[in-house]
Structure 1
Amino acid sequence: MQSPLIQELIEAFRVLPGVGPKSAQRMAFYLLEQNKNGGSVLAKTLAKAVEEIGHCSLCRTLTEEETCSICQSSRRATGELCIVESPSDVSVIEQSGIFQGQYFVLMGHLSPIDGIGPKQIGLDTLEKRLNDDSVHELIIATNPTVEGEATAHYIQQIALKHQVKVSRLAQGIPMGGELEYLDSGTLSQAFLARKAM
């Protein structure tokens, strides 16, 4: 029978996506047997990140600042706003280097069955941002899933009320795929071939 603390560590690793009992056990034993220093660094960094990282006041991405570096940058086109579901989507788009505007991160998608409505994904905040007339185009980059498409349609209706142009990432993204798994070439093509909704 294993020590209760080792079992607790194994269970802690299981909160990560895709980590089952065997993988969690392997990670726990690796840190305890072969890399205690790495485990200490991981623990300190994780504790600090959980404590200090919050959401950008403008785009809602993850940051330790009040406003993230992208929103603060004077080199970004403030009139183009790319709508994504998660901070990892921002990271993928930024790695491609194709987009030079700003973002709005939904932190999910509409899912009435799960109790996730427009307010839970910040669409009230997005609408307030559209009220100031600085945004002239929304580029919707929600995942091409049923929920992502429903979210895109809802956002399109908000944009129409504010007379803001709406486009959707097009070519290159497979139906049912997710942005964080695309290569930068596919993502670049999707941005270049976006179409009005």
Structure 2
Amino acid sequence: MSAIDDLTRELRRLPGIGAKTALRLAFHMIKGPREDMRRLAGALTDVAERIHPCPRCGNYCSADVCSVCRDPSRDRSVICVVEEAYEVGAIERTGQYGGLFHVLGGRLSPLDGVGPGQLDIEGLLDRVSNQEEKPKEVILATNASVEGEATAVYLETLLRPHDLRITRLARGIPVGSDLEYVDGTTIAEALAGRRRVGGGRA
């Protein structure tokens, strides 16, 4: 197998990249300046060697603890639970949230073989059980999809005994959409209008 085949095969492993797109990307790289390819290879190597999940929240970082968790100005009484690490950035860009995060690493999807054991649910339960840093509120910011809603309902069941305010983002976010693709204003409004799970306003 040639180097081009190897590159194409690896590109096909990326989300949304099919065989034809992978081949076009491969030849685009080959036709471009060699220095561009070296920079890309260097960036990938750097990420592979330096980036890891934050041991507290699951967000990706290069330090021992991510910048959010080590920021003393963050409101530690609130934890916002998201499915994926890139959704932390979507919420941060609104400038309307100053609490902490917890990244699940996905959402419940039995058809895809993703159950509770594949998500960092135990880490979340450990955080809400910690009497020294116990939050007062947990915001369930899973996506407005069937799987996201199922994940939120499951988490609510587990969190209910911990004497917390459990809230869900308001319905300003369209059903079926991912936070990554929602504009900052809509996310900010959803945060402001979040509702208490089980009825009532936050």
Residue 66 (structure 2) aligns with: 68
State the distance in 2 between where 1:34 and 1:116 align. 39
Deviates more, 1:67-76 or 1:115-124: 115-124
State the distance in 1 between where 2:18 and 2:171 align. 35
In 2 relative to 1, CA 183–29 (structure 1 residues): closer, same or farther, beyond 3 Å? same
Instruction: Tell me which amino acid in the other structure corresponds to 1:173.
Output: I
- Taking only aligned residues, the RMSD between alpha carbons, in angstroms, comes to 1.4
Where does structure 1 lack aligned partners over 5 or more consecutive residues?
none
State the distance in 1 between where 2:31 and 2:99 align. 47
State the distance in 1 between where 2:158 and 2:116 align. 11
Where does structure 2 lack aligned partners over 5 or more consecutive residues?
198-202
State the distance in 1 between where 2:36 and 2:69 align. 33
CA drift of 1:31 comes to 1.7
CA drift of 1:70 comes to 0.4
Residue 184 (structure 1) aligns with: 184
Q: Which residues in structure 2 correspond to 1:50-129 (within 5 Å)?
A: 50-129=48-127
CA drift of 1:81 comes to 0.2
Q: Which residues in structure 2 correspond to 1:148-167 (within 5 Å)?
A: 148-167=148-167
Q: Could you tell me the TM-score, scaled by structure 1's length?
A: 0.93
State the distance in 1 between where 2:164 and 2:72 align. 22
* 1:141 lines up with 2:141 in the alignment: yes
**Aligned partners of 1:96 and 1:188 also within 8 Å:** yes
Q: Which residues in structure 2 correspond to 1:8-87 (within 5 Å)?
A: 8-87=6-85
State the distance in 1 between where 2:124 and 2:148 align. 16
CA drift of 1:52 comes to 2.0
Q: Could you tell me the TM-score, scaled by structure 2's length?
A: 0.91
State the distance in 2 between where 1:98 and 1:171 align. 17
Q: Sequence identity of aligned pairs in percent?
A: 37
CA drift of 1:48 comes to 1.8
Corresponding pairs, count: 195
State the distance in 1 between where 2:128 and 2:31 align. 54
